[in-house]
Amino acid sequence: MESLEICSYLRPERVLYLDSADKKQAMEQLLELLCRDDSILDPQKVRQAIWDREKSMSTGIGEGIAIPHARSKAVTDFVVAFALVKNGLDFEAIDGKPVKVIFMIVANDTQDKKYVRLLSRLMLRMKNTELIDQLLNCRDASELYRVLVESK
């Protein structure tokens, strides 16, 4: 069985370090980074898919983490972007806590099993408090990328 690592779909240019932002600003900045990727066939449809998913239920999973995600015909393969918001933001998370760690994931609408496995693997990885602490102590996007790629 193929190992699905979130970092195999993450690129340094799709990692953000933000001191502060609101939910809309953070989401739009991540979407802008995602939509530059060649795997995105129709940026407007991808934006709509992410916002539609978010309107149906917040993807703030708790403990300071959000994973906005969607599947769309407008994507040929997984594309991942990441942001750390140093001062946190209101993401309407299930536990009401501010979100600091945001992974945004889009995939083709036919990638059902891989999509579920990738999300599950990411959620398990985000339970690693040592990794979260390392991310929160980073000072810029390049350091965030290094920590994400080197951690397993």
Task: Determine the pLDDT at residue 67.
Answer: 95
pLDDT digits (tens, 9 = 90+) for 64-95: 999 999 999 999 999 999 999 999 999 999 99
Domain boundaries, the chain: 10-144
Catalytic residue among 23, 69, 71, 100: 69
The correct answer on CATH 3.40.930.10 for the domain covering 10-144 is: yes
Handedness of CA 21, 102, 88, 152 (dihedral sign): negative
pLDDT, averaged per 10 consecutive residues of the chain (152 residues), comes to 67 95 96 96 97 94 94 94 96 95 95 87 89 95 94 72
Compute the Cα dihedral for 9, 11, 14, 17 and give only its sign.
positive
Active site residue 69: yes
Is 126 within 8 Å of 132 (Cβ atoms)?
A: yes
